Structure 1
Amino acid sequence: MRAIENDRKMKIRLKKRGKSEINCTNRFEVEEDMFCNQCQEALNVKGCTRNGVCGKKGEVADLQDRLLYVLKSISFYNLKAREYGLNEEATDRFVLDSFFATLTNTNFDKQAIESYIRRGFEIRDTIKAKLPEGALPARGTLPAVATVTPENINEMDVAIHSTQDEDVRSLRELLTYGMKGLAAYAHHAYILGYKDKAIFEFIEKGLVSTTDDSIGVEALIGLVLECGQKGVSVLALLDKANTETYGSPEPTAVNIGVRNNPGILISGHDLCDLEQLLEQTRGTGIDVYTHGEMLPANSYPAFKRYDNFAGNYGNAWWKQNEEFEKFNGPILMTTNCIIPPKESYRNRIYTTGVVGFEGLTHIYEKEDGTKDFTPLIEQAKTSKPPEQLESGTIVGGFAHEAALSVADRIVDAVKTGKISRFMVMAGCDGRHKERAYYTEFARALPKDSVILTAGCAKYRYNKLDLGDIGGIPRVIDAGQCNDSYSLVVIAQKLAEAFGLEDINDLPVSYNIAWYEQKAVLVLLALLSLGVKNITLGPTLPAFISPNVLKVLVENFNIRPNTTVEEDMKILLG
């Protein structure tokens, strides 16, 4: 049995059955209950205990916990392998992919997670077998994470949230969820051929640290901040990967209406998938539209040469059920942010990469790294054109290069009093009605303030008519959460322009919305840069203990959002 201490005391009922799909002799699975608190929508700001609000079933949540434990076992041995120069690139890729698969709204497919577990044990045993004699401690002194097997993993309490000490548990969770974001961003860069050995090593070190009871609160705080530092590195790496591959984003008026051709809708963050889809649909009479997190792709020069790239359709990820139903054509989910599909469009939604959902067609990567999107193309040919949701355009593409190209105008506008404050309103969108707060906050901002944004939080205000200040738009959209690095670069360059040593002395305030683990990593990245006075909402993470929150408040002055009026007073200084 597993127990959640203090105000989260809940019991997970387990039942025992015979041999399972992952060939374990004693298979345990969650009968009804579960516990998951990794996202902002955790039930009652504590944790989902039956089905996840996201739609994840208890059995899948349990399997994901066990997959993470297998990754910890791999990491234990692979850290040793690195010491002897025996690491293999396939191990790095597997850890990134399978870690990413456990993010919120990424992989709901039980069989896919079981496959990751099977493959993980194979990789772990291969690493173990090639280590030289004497590389490991004596067998009787090996930690449990090193001795886990397919036969005993389901008898072990492997969930990180079952750690007894509340503060250690909180920090282990914060580190784990930050590393999930780290792995996701590293995955995006890896797909484009950009890699950083230091990030792979840190992920392994961090995973193993969550199994070591000798690592206490102080050391875990250090690891959490180091995760933030690695977050800055991985965001810089991903920025380099995207811009060197597809060009620097340009300010772009993105069409949000529809054409009269049948279409394919693509969502997620994988620009390589978009490139292949555009190439394969060229000349077919099929248009390609972005949705949700893929919106910023419209601003990359490399994609503008495709006449069949039609624009963006719809809004943030959580509106999929309504908007996918009306699109009429096939939909491709490339990374996180899939939600359980309705029957009305279930036969025309496809997954690829780390995304999975039971019963949906999955497009696999071939050995040469390419994908064949013929099933979507053939279905699109028989589909009606999309139903129009809205018309007009929205402006995006203000990543750091574009924003800094007008830095002199921005600095002059600040010095002359035309711009009084920059408000960073980055992060995630979500289903909660409380998120209307961000729309009202944007509307209530003084007309001499400018919003800096990245991530799907922008869907709460990017279609408002907020105007501009001397030609500078009042919403400077740097892109998706992957492009959060641009906000860091812009702030750093502004500090240089004003001759400031401390980034916190800029006329910049932070009102951040979070939902999932990529946002956790971005938050840690900001903290590692010394950014203070962040307002976070719509609720604080359920996995943060009172003492850990106290540390964050004392060192960084993090505060929860309250009301538009009260927060406006504080954030406008």
Structure 2
Amino acid sequence: MFCYQCEQTAKNEACVKLGVCGKQPDVAALQDLLTHALKGLSQVAVEGRKVGVSDREVNVFTCEALFTTLTNVNFDPEDIARFIQKTVEMREKLKARVKAAGGFVDFAQGPATLQPATSVAEMVRQGEAVGFDKDPEPNQDIRSLKHTAIFGLRGVAAYADHAQILGQEDEAVYAGLQEILADTVRLDLALNDWVGRVLRVGEINIRAMELLDAANTGTYGHPVPTKVPLGHRKGKAILVSGHDLKDLEELLKQTQGKGITVYTHGEMLPCHGYPGLKKYEHFYGHYGTAWQNQAKEFAAFPGAILMTTNCLQKPQESYKDNIFTSGVVGWPGVCHVDRWDFSPVIQRALELPGFSEDTNGAHVMVGFARNTVLGVADKVIEAVKGGAIRHFFLVAGCDGAKPGRNYYTRFVELVPQDCVVLTLACGKFRFFDKDLGTIGGLPRLMDVGQCNDAYSAVQIALALSKAFNVGVNELPLSLVLSWYEQKAVAILLSLLYLGIKNIRLGPSLPAFISPNVLQVLVQNFDIKPISTPEEDLKAILGS
């Protein structure tokens, strides 16, 4: 086993015996084999476009399959083996079409010729031979950039998959993803070629996030400021975690009139701000915090639990019968529901006791995406010009269990009263329930949304830079980010593509970034590892 795609990888080097996330060595090998197979499918897709052949089914599947290799998504070896088989079946069908159109398909070797074994055990051995530690690229820095591109593409695939589920697609996203994935097989590309490709991953991801933003807001309306209870109601309950809005909507439709209250967990919290979802009366509040606390939180939840995308951890025996997966998510022995038939989830919720009483706990505010913030842009601009707002901080990203993430809590606590904090993704659970007060009627803490809503944050920054007639890097804005998995990698690459500098990143830097590549990032983008909240605030504000 060799896996170093997430922030919590063992010793900040690689997981070589067992994944810190709970991934078994056989699953790691199968995910590597699936990635290898998808490279081959992408090679054929690239050749197909040269002769006018593009297959939507192949394109959608490529994203769905690549999504399954992202951290904390699918831990089921049988499921991943089926993805591998289907990848090769699709590749061969596409080859026939490309050949008939006069295209090149005579690959002599490599992933485009892979024939998967007939047993899962043999597939595992095949996967072990094509892992990231077996990459034939001799140059360490090129290999580092190549792997960075692959991990970024996994994040792109997740966002593209979410978007197409709600009817938003772009051939350019599929083409770009497959071209770069196919290029990872090549050994004739120089260092600068890969620098360009890594930044192109960021460019493609911006488009993928734009599509997802259009999908979410076009289907459910633009988020509006909404007060979300952290308590619960008496009665039967279902908890929804992950990121998928369509799954939540379908569950809400199917639970109407059944006496079940639906709660959000993790990155589903921002869903309460969407008009098309908040209209359901039995969609009530938020339960729990970030993904890494689910073992304790899920064990205490007296209802059924639905995992819609990534962020799944090994289910404990105490609630294994209560948890369900959907979409690309999977765990051996956990009931997987067909999209979008949530009757097993509903039935289990009706069997379980639910909450025995109402609670009137605290609440948090959501719904400060770009439409809301830019709707009061005149107030924001006036407050900055008048000196009421000195600086904006985007304190955002993934949460995790490894020590060092209390930095972000302390940082927000120390942010001066004349500064505003924007946040998004699950990193906010370190401080989301803190009351920071207001400035000129505006909340000092504004939740922009899920991780993919980095698109909203970028649009806010671009609009402000235009209003002040300065570049984004000249705004009184600092990005303080935490990362964990590959969607965060894709977002970081998007920010670098946009030329955004002075990003502070933590709690540790990616293990797959070589020293020379890190030096390039520091020189070209002034990217910095976090230090202490006190030191970083002093460096940013100058006092």
TM category (shorter chain) comes to over 0.9
Q: Is the Cα contact below 8 Å between 1:160 and 1:210 reproduced in 2?
A: no
For residue 86 of structure 2, the aligned residue among 119, 129, 135 is 119
Q: Is the Cα contact below 8 Å between 2:2 and 2:131 reproduced in 1?
A: no
For residue 398 of structure 1, the aligned residue among 368, 371, 377 is 368
Amino acid across the alignment from 2:6: C
Report 1:74-93 matches (<5 A).
74-93=41-60
The aligned residue for residue 480 of structure 2 is: 511
Q: Deviations over 1:435-484 (max 9, x none)?
A: 01100110011111111111111111111121111211111111010211
Amino acid across the alignment from 2:191: V
Amino acid across the alignment from 2:317: E
2: CA distance, partners of 1:349 / 1:538: 31
1: CA distance, partners of 2:214 / 2:318: 40
Q: Does 1:548 align with 2:517?
A: yes
Amino acid across the alignment from 1:522: I
The aligned residue for residue 260 of structure 2 is: 286
Q: Relative to structure 2, which stretch is displaced further, 161-170 or 502-511?
A: 161-170
The aligned residue for residue 424 of structure 2 is: 454
Q: Deviations over 1:195-227 (max 9, x none)?
A: 010110111111111110001211011000111
Amino acid across the alignment from 1:208: A
Go from structure 1 to structure 2 and tell me whether the alpha carbon gap of 1:458 and 1:374 turns closer, same or farther (over 3 Å shift). same
Q: Relative to structure 2, which stretch is displaced further, 43-52 or 155-164?
A: 155-164
Q: CA deviation at 1:524?
A: 0.6
Q: Deviations over 1:38-93 (max 9, x none)?
A: 00001111011111100000110000000001101101111122223332211112
Q: Deviations over 1:513-561 (max 9, x none)?
A: 0000000011111111110000000000000000100110110000100
Q: Does 1:147 align with 2:128?
A: no
TM-score (norm 1): 0.91
Go from structure 1 to structure 2 and tell me whether the alpha carbon gap of 1:562 and 1:389 turns closer, same or farther (over 3 Å shift). farther
The aligned residue for residue 323 of structure 2 is: 349
The aligned residue for residue 184 of structure 1 is: 158
Q: CA deviation at 1:137?
A: 5.2
2: CA distance, partners of 1:301 / 1:205: 38
The aligned residue for residue 49 of structure 1 is: 16
The aligned residue for residue 443 of structure 2 is: 473
SS in 2 for 1:423: strand
1: CA distance, partners of 2:234 / 2:184: 54
SS in 2 for 1:425: strand
Q: Does 1:496 align with 2:466?
A: yes
2: CA distance, partners of 1:471 / 1:415: 16
1: CA distance, partners of 2:290 / 2:318: 20
SS in 2 for 1:483: helix
SS in 2 for 1:478: strand
2: CA distance, partners of 1:193 / 1:314: 31
Listed as ranges, the gaps of 5+ residues in structure 1 are: 1-33, 366-370
SS in 2 for 1:132: helix
TM-score (norm 2): 0.96
Amino acid across the alignment from 2:277: F
For residue 162 of structure 1, the aligned residue among 134, 145, 168 is 134
1: CA distance, partners of 2:363 / 2:133: 45
Amino acid across the alignment from 1:80: E
SS in 2 for 1:124: helix
Go from structure 1 to structure 2 and tell me whether the alpha carbon gap of 1:568 and 1:390 turns closer, same or farther (over 3 Å shift). farther
Alignment: residue pair count: 533
The aligned residue for residue 31 of structure 2 is: 64
SS in 1 for 2:115: coil
Q: CA deviation at 1:134?
A: 8.3
After the TM superposition, list the runs of 4 or more consecutive aligned residues in structure 1 that deviate by more than 3 angstroms.
133-139, 151-156, 386-390
Q: Relative to structure 2, which stretch is displaced further, 480-489 or 375-384?
A: 375-384
Q: CA deviation at 1:423?
A: 0.5
Q: Does 1:94 align with 2:61?
A: yes
Q: Deviations over 1:387-427 (max 9, x none)?
A: 78981210010000001111111111111111111011111
SS in 2 for 1:200: helix
Listed as ranges, the gaps of 5+ residues in structure 2 are: none
Go from structure 1 to structure 2 and tell me whether the alpha carbon gap of 1:390 and 1:333 turns closer, same or farther (over 3 Å shift). farther
For residue 96 of structure 2, the aligned residue among 124, 129, 138 is 129
1: CA distance, partners of 2:480 / 2:172: 31
Q: Is the Cα contact below 8 Å between 2:47 and 2:105 reproduced in 1?
A: no
Amino acid across the alignment from 1:518: K
2: CA distance, partners of 1:138 / 1:304: 51
Identity of aligned residues (%): 46
The aligned residue for residue 3 of structure 1 is: none
The aligned residue for residue 422 of structure 1 is: 392
1: CA distance, partners of 2:93 / 2:56: 13
Report 1:369-380 matches (<5 A).
371-380=340-349
Q: Relative to structure 2, which stretch is displaced further, 148-157 or 254-263?
A: 148-157
Q: Is the Cα contact below 8 Å between 2:99 and 2:105 reproduced in 1?
A: no
Q: Is the Cα contact below 8 Å between 1:168 and 1:216 reproduced in 2?
A: yes
Q: Is the Cα contact below 8 Å between 1:161 and 1:169 reproduced in 2?
A: no
SS in 1 for 2:271: helix
Q: CA deviation at 1:145?
A: 2.3
Q: Is the Cα contact below 8 Å between 1:80 and 1:135 reproduced in 2?
A: no
Q: Relative to structure 2, which stretch is displaced further, 279-288 or 155-164?
A: 155-164
For residue 219 of structure 1, the aligned residue among 188, 193, 203 is 193
